Structure 1
């Protein structure tokens, strides 16, 4: 093995090797073994290969490395890979060959250097340095791979906890996390902070506040798999904790997390934040819905932060027993439908079908089939905004088992009869009061067009972009999400319906 061409002093030679190591380490990707082997070839003139294991599989090699040299080396390579030897020197024909086993765990890769002459002490030292560098790069790659796998699993577990809470199952969330229960599940309540930010920023923010257990102290940050700009932050809010709580307790840490999110919004003009009211863990879905409504208002607020200050939902103002009788008569046929179809239908009444498909890992056609099955049993077209709103209201009303059954022989009221009361009218007036005539007209045309902005634009003789601009302004005025999750559509459908009933 002869002298290299990149400098004869060891320090100069190693500088080149260190530059290559720094370049690869800064990229955080899989090591480019071939670059390091080529560097050694340029320094020594020898042919170099990295053998992956005792079976002789070549992982990387310099150009023109003689593969025939490996066959007679097979027994030696097996011993080096198995940890029985660390280094060995031998001859194969006219070639002088030096082999080094790399790393501590079998099967070890083996560095093979073959030249036409006996290697100089400097060449042997450079070969050992390269072996050390390759070992460190492979350790770094393994650590990076382990870190990424851990982050992936942590994200999956956080998402599973969120799913269980959205389903109203905090006990299921505890069972799924046995041995590593997130502190959030011991909180007396929570608020959902829904952060709107550029998608690449979500992972950075979540990692910055992640603790060694994969959670976020007493809180939880989950990247929404459907709305790529949303980071869902579940922040513990124990009774009596909050701004006045000591910073060493859960309430204090939770308060700091909320302040951190507000500061992020203040410092980044493309961020916005919607904050729910306080809810028990089992009502996380309601908290999320409130945060989505608040986020719709936050986008146009000067501070780009809004807290939910909504009114009583419609099911809370209707006469209870007549409303429950109507609801049970409408959704009773769902008892004959498979539970999976019912659960998917509930989800699809609160978010777009494409979102449900992505959330559950199903195709849109499969989601549509479940909706058709449920709609067929109900005698409703669940692609129609008004039918969806009616079924959504009925499901909310029929969720209580404490209400007695209707008296025999008494027919349930119609929806128009339920919505024709003074209390319902007052509710609708409160919902629609912030809208001017133009925005109310656009909202009605949009509902009449089954929430299709293009059809509404044609009916009104304006552009689709104008319709969407009016709807965004309506979201801000009403504090309801209409265009992202669509959770506010049911309220405006009912409010407009009540106005029509009263006008009739």
Structure 2
């Protein structure tokens, strides 16, 4: 809408102040609602309502018999300015100016370029009013459209604020003031500390203040930005006063600023969360170096050491995981602490109720990882922690933390620390590594540029399953399954058989981070017979179980982990077998049935302790006849029992 200030300013104004300009300043930003003509007695010629009227009177005002009464009547009708047309280059008499000034009514006269009669002047003023209204509408539309586009793109308010400054005219300065340290705050606080406090504390939403500047006076519009106190303050300064339409535009932009700031913060948090999940995926597929590079901007130094811990915080059924993740983040990486980050906190991409922590091996001199995470325990919330492991074996450490959740439920402290599995691979003799390289040489037929990726994905499927491997690797489960199938076929193994998958998993574990020396090696069965240290570990692993439990595990493994088949072998109901496996899992701290990884540990322990025959597992380095696993013998052993 048009204002008096816009009519008397610029290079070609329609109107000029008559008399003292100072008397018109309090009214120059008032928006003109309508332009009306006065009759010879100074009365408005129409009943257009009250308020924000610009009146036009033909003549100098001397013709008004009751001058003061006429001016008071105009002010009462809401006239915010009176245009007198005394004639070319003429000015109203001094007593008319004095009377108007005494009532605070601005007097104006047409400029030389404006019409010198009342009706044509009114038409020109109405044209200007329509143009001003259209300009204000277009300005608002441009800013709203820009704000909507930025919101869809999850961008911050920077571009919108620059556009606002351009719309408000030259020499306009725009600042977002969030706290006393923000640039621009000190300058404003020198003269208007009270106004800033009122805006931030939500006492007022909008306030206009003036400050002296090198070019005269600076008019600053302060608006609250945000839904809750303490508010951010949108401060827009310009040399000209603030007309109502432009002020309303700034207030509307302040509302958009708060929304865009939230969208930007959400986008930043989502980007960080995506990077954290990518770091986890890299570690789970053995790509430690790339994981370090990706994590350094977020958590410098956490993954730079060779070893670390994995912890899992499992939320209570009614808890919001995002809230728990923020709580854990504040616990392990306090925002007001000078110490470096101690962990990377990740919302698990597979288990909806889990928060994963990748932690430094050493948290501090006075506190262990379990001591620190004890404070994260709450009602129905449990925490599982692995012992330190090389980051290249993150998947094993994750499984250890996952298994620790089982024992944590039985622990009064609701937290448990566990070693990773029965890891048999490190306990086998050196000849096992040479055997594993013989197995993996069969994969040289894979495309060189994709070989490592295919093998890593296949190993992930072996330990976590197709769906989970797809999520960890950021690929479709079908793609993960196809890569797994390719590896098993190249090795001559059956992807449906647990024994075949356990052999493939063992070989891929053994070759990781080792170099193929092309050395000769005995077959797998000979290696297992000579694995004294691994056998002793297997005996310790199975020691907590009674004979019935070991027989149950042997039947379950021999039946390819098929419950119905194993139940028939044992002569019990399928549901009874399921309950028995659950009890055994609690004793071993293994989530039996969750993935094949736990079944591999059981298989090798049974094999090494002669609870299953060595012929139960195939050897890809042996002849085709030797590779047929002796499943029937394993089943027959338990049928005879």
- CA deviation map 1:190-246 (0-9, x unaligned): 221122224753311222325679x993211111101222211122123xx64xx15
Q: Which residue of 2 aligns with 1:39?
A: none
Choose from 256, 262, 276 the match for 1:158.
276
Residue 231 of structure 1 aligns to a residue whose secondary structure is: strand
Q: Which residue of 1 aligns with 2:379?
A: 268
Q: Is the 8 A contact 2:309 2:361 kept in 1?
A: yes
Q: Which residue of 2 aligns with 1:205?
A: 324
What's the offset of the Cα at 1:355?
Answer: 0.7
What TM-score do you get using the length of structure 2 for normalisation? 0.52
Alignment of 1:54-453 (within 5 A): 74-79=134-139, 81=141, 104=161, 106=163, 134-177=252-295, 182-187=300-305, 189-198=307-316, 200-208=319-327, 209-210=329-330, 217-238=341-362, 242=364, 245=365, 255=368, 258-265=370-377, 267-269=378-380, 271-309=381-419, 313-321=423-431, 323-338=432-447, 339=451, 340-399=453-512, 401=514, 404-407=517-520, 412-421=521-530, 423=532, 424-453=534-563
What's the offset of the Cα at 1:329?
Answer: 2.9
| Aligned equivalents of 1:492, 1:195: Cα separation in 2 | 26
Given the superposition, is the C-alpha separation of residues 71 and 375 from structure 1 closer, same or farther in structure 2, using an over 3 Å criterion?
farther
Q: Does 1 or 2 have the higher relative contact order (CA < 8 Å, sep 6+)?
A: 1
| Aligned equivalents of 1:192, 1:151: Cα separation in 2 | 22
Q: Is the 8 A contact 1:299 1:476 kept in 2?
A: no
| Aligned equivalents of 2:531, 2:468: Cα separation in 1 | 37
| Aligned equivalents of 2:301, 2:437: Cα separation in 1 | 39
Residue 307 of structure 1 aligns to a residue whose secondary structure is: strand
Q: Is the 8 A contact 1:334 1:378 kept in 2?
A: yes
| Aligned equivalents of 2:510, 2:462: Cα separation in 1 | 14
Residue 220 of structure 1 aligns to a residue whose secondary structure is: strand
What's the offset of the Cα at 1:289?
Answer: 3.1
Residue 328 of structure 1 aligns to a residue whose secondary structure is: helix
Given the superposition, is the C-alpha separation of residues 361 and 274 from structure 1 closer, same or farther in structure 2, using an over 3 Å criterion?
same
Residue segments in structure 1 that go unaligned for 5+ positions in a row: 1-69, 84-102, 111-124, 247-251
Residue 597 of structure 2 aligns to a residue whose secondary structure is: coil
- CA deviation map 1:281-316 (0-9, x unaligned): 444334323323323333344443221146762223
Q: Which residue of 1 aligns with 2:219?
A: none
| Aligned equivalents of 1:263, 1:469: Cα separation in 2 | 33
What's the offset of the Cα at 1:268?
Answer: 1.5
| Aligned equivalents of 2:511, 2:142: Cα separation in 1 | 68
| Aligned equivalents of 2:391, 2:513: Cα separation in 1 | 18
More displaced stretch, 364-373 vs 449-458: 449-458
What's the offset of the Cα at 1:143?
Answer: 2.3
Q: Which has the larger radius of gyration?
A: 2
Residue segments in structure 2 that go unaligned for 5+ positions in a row: 1-129, 144-159, 168-242, 615-633
Q: Is the 8 A contact 1:164 1:173 kept in 2?
A: yes
Choose from 573, 577, 583 the match for 1:473.
583
| Aligned equivalents of 2:371, 2:543: Cα separation in 1 | 32
Given the superposition, is the C-alpha separation of residues 179 and 294 from structure 1 closer, same or farther in structure 2, using an over 3 Å criterion?
closer
Q: Is the 8 A contact 2:439 2:491 kept in 1?
A: yes
Given the superposition, is the C-alpha separation of residues 135 and 79 from structure 1 closer, same or farther in structure 2, using an over 3 Å criterion?
closer
| Aligned equivalents of 2:516, 2:373: Cα separation in 1 | 42
| Aligned equivalents of 2:527, 2:574: Cα separation in 1 | 35
Q: Which residue of 1 aligns with 2:212?
A: none
| Aligned equivalents of 2:569, 2:596: Cα separation in 1 | 22
| Aligned equivalents of 1:104, 1:500: Cα separation in 2 | 73
| Aligned equivalents of 1:417, 1:234: Cα separation in 2 | 38
What's the offset of the Cα at 1:163?
Answer: 2.6
